[in-house]
Amino acid sequence: MVDVPALVAPWGNASRHRRSNNAIISPGGGAVSRSVSHMRALATYVFVLALAAASAAPSWAEDSDRPRYYLHLRGQDTNPATGVHDHWGLSLGANLDRYWGLELSADTFERRVKSAGRTLGEFGVVALVPQVRLRYPFLDDRLVPYLVAGVGVAFTDFNDRKPITPRVSIEGAEQTRLVGTVGAGVEYYFADNLAVGVEVKYLIADDTTLRINGARESQQVASLFTTLGLRLLIPEHRPQPPVATGEPAPQRLYLGARVGAAISTDTDAFSNVDIRPEPPAYFGTGNQFFGVALGMDFGRYLGVEVAAEGYEVILATSALGSLTEMAVYSIIPQLRVRYPLYGGRLAPYAIGGVGASYAEKNDTKQPGADLDIETSTWGLAAAAGAGVEYFVASNIAVGLEARYVTHRGHTIQINGGPKASGHYDAVIVAFTLRVALAQFGR
């Protein structure tokens, strides 16, 4: 038996970076959007569960002296102790030898913008930093402490405006600035090409100045990150040979991630509101979409998985404009029928299932601040589609997938008026990442 661990993508950030250099905070009220944090928290739980399952069995696992490329995925979501919110990052890099490596690190996070004790919105930061990585493997090269440092740039903006009375103007948030990083981490190899670890890194940056109602106020940019991460490396030390035709195909437990766009198809499904894309939708129509899945392939052709996914839309009217954001989730058991080609490297597949839908109202906009908007929560969800994936390693596949996902049995009521029944339907186009956790029967 060969056992390989999990991968989950923390970059599925559907955070709303609505760029505005002269943002206006409008009257009213509304809760902070929680949909993205919920999905990423779920991804973290699935990741920990997968790690526990994968670590339960023996496997070949060690770092290497040979040059290898890697993708490092990491995140912490929100840390009240450091004031960092919705933090996720990734690095693309290469180990040059036993000790030295180079990488391009990307981190996205937010800090709260406050004035006079009130939260006005969020200060978004995206940092791109080339880094040098120095590591020292020991304990048979399974445990690898390391240091990172670099200099790069950060892009900032103001987003997720909160409805506040009286109106508040905010200027000067959109900037490009020089930043640096210094940090340390330790990771443990529990498969030939996968390592899990923790990292502490400090983003070095000067404070910036915002103009809030014309008054200059300091906004912190420098931040401390404390993250859980997974490093995925290629090539493998000991790649598993493909299963020959006629041999019994093994069963494989896997973890998957989907990141892409949800394009709403029936925008007038409710009689009292329209469904519109949530900025910054891709190309103005594709809402940011993120999902995770835990599944099992049974032999060569069949598999099952449970997928948890979500995206956000805007509820609006032609008279008032945007009223509120709506987070739409689904948890769907799905059957996957695949047909491996080219020795199992390429695998087209069909996928579909029926499960539960959940819709949650959040982030009320100024036109909807004085309205009583009631929305139902639970409903029925179904999905059907197809995809294709390519195995870049014996236990790692990347791919592209398209599905039609419907959320049925939902209602919307405004100011005590009649309830309008409707649905949230979308075409989902997503990049996929699938990693085997464990293999049985071989």
pLDDT > 60? residue 15: no
Instruction: Answer yes or no: is pLDDT of 59 > 60.
Output: no
pLDDT(35) > 60 = no
Q: Which residue has the higher pLDDT, 407 or 29?
A: 407
- Is pTM beyond 0.85? Reply is no
State whether residue 167 is helix, strand or coil.
coil
User: Among 312, 307, 269, 318, which residue's Cα sits nearest to residue 289?
Assistant: 312
The confidence score (pLDDT) of residue 40 equals 56
Contact by Cβ (8 Å): 290, 310: yes
Nearest to 187 by CA among 239, 256, 136: 136
In this predicted structure, the answer to whether residue 7 has a pLDDT above a threshold of 80 is no
Report the candidate in 112, 108, 77, 74 with the shortest Cα–Cα distance to residue 91: 74
* Count of C-beta atoms within a 10 Å radius of residue 230: 24
Whole-number pLDDT of residue 54: 53
Distance, CA of 98 to CA of 34 (rounded, Å): 42
Q: In the sheet that 208-212 helps form, which strands lie side by side, from edge to edge?
A: 22-25, 168-171, 208-212, 215-219
pLDDT tens string 160-189: 777 665 667 787 788 899 999 999 999 999
Residue 171 has what pLDDT? 79
Nearest to 152 by CA among 83, 201, 82, 79: 201
For 201-246, what is each residue's pLDDT tens digit?
999 999 888 888 778 888 889 999 999 998 999 998 877 766 655 6
Cis geometry, peptide bond prior to residue 280 (ω within 30 degrees of 0): yes
Domains, the chain, ordered by start: 7-239 (2.40.160.20), 247-442 (2.40.160.20)
Q: Are 182 and 146 in contact (CB under 8 A)?
A: no
Q: What is the pLDDT of residues 102-152, one digit of tens each?
A: 999 999 999 988 877 777 888 889 999 999 999 999 998 999 999 999 999
Query: Does the structure show a pLDDT above 80 at 16?
Result: no
| pLDDT above 70 as % of the chain | 83
